[in-house]
Amino acid sequence: MGGAMTIFSILCGVFAVASTITSLCTDCWQINSKGSVVLSTRCRGLWRECVWDKFVKIWTCDVFNSYLNPHPAAVILTRTLLITSSIASAGAFLCLLLGSEYLSCCQGPLAKQRCLRLAAGLFFLVGISTSVGVVRYCVYVYSLHQYEVSLKIPGFPSFEYGYSLWMAVGGSLGAIVAAAVSCYEVLFTKDPRANAVKEVAERGCTAGLDVVRTYV
């Protein structure tokens, strides 16, 4: 059972790291809605805006003029939280591997439990920070979408949630599951210090019995 939980936590950690980093690399957080009468596919991200021309078959991207220019608060917040989550997820996965029973880098069960505790805390941080960024960005896109639809301009490209946003959602869920499984491994694994104390106590009792038997 313990081996299966370890493998499951590693798989969840891989999924969380890959999804979180991929959501930043693909950078398509908004995509033009199906109801928009446009001749191209447009993707808006946290850093740039890309267009796929259906006739010319060319994918072009324009980076925002300056990262120092005033941007919506939702974009700034999501950038910060996703970058933090990407770095923390990589560190959490490394701690998870070090705490795994299949890797002998950390010698001793006590060191492995500490690595698992650290991995659980970091994965929980990743899940919470990514969720906050995604929820804030979803509210921003929803309000922007409703405003664009209310204009009722023929052919105006209205935007909806893009696939990068859903990747971030998957990474958040994977991180939370990995944190829960790591906590389970820590809580339901016997504390090596308790085992050592118990073993010493048993040896002391046995030695005492031997002494009594000798003098009797």
Instruction: For residue 122, tell me if it sits in a domain.
Output: yes
Instruction: For residue 207, tell me if it sits in a domain.
Output: no
pTM to 2 decimal places:
0.75
> Residue 4: its pLDDT value, please?
81
Quote the domain boundaries for residue 131: 2-191
Residue 133 sits in a domain whose CATH number is 1.20.140.150
Instruction: For residue 202, tell me if it sits in a domain.
Output: no
* Band (211; pLDDT cuts 50, 70, 90): very low
Is pLDDT above 60 for 203? no
Instruction: For residue 199, tell me if it sits in a domain.
Output: no
Instruction: For residue 10, tell me if it sits in a domain.
Output: yes
CA-based radius of gyration for the chain: 26
Instruction: For residue 213, tell me if it sits in a domain.
Output: no
Is pLDDT above 90 for 215? no
The total number of structural domains that make up the chain: 1
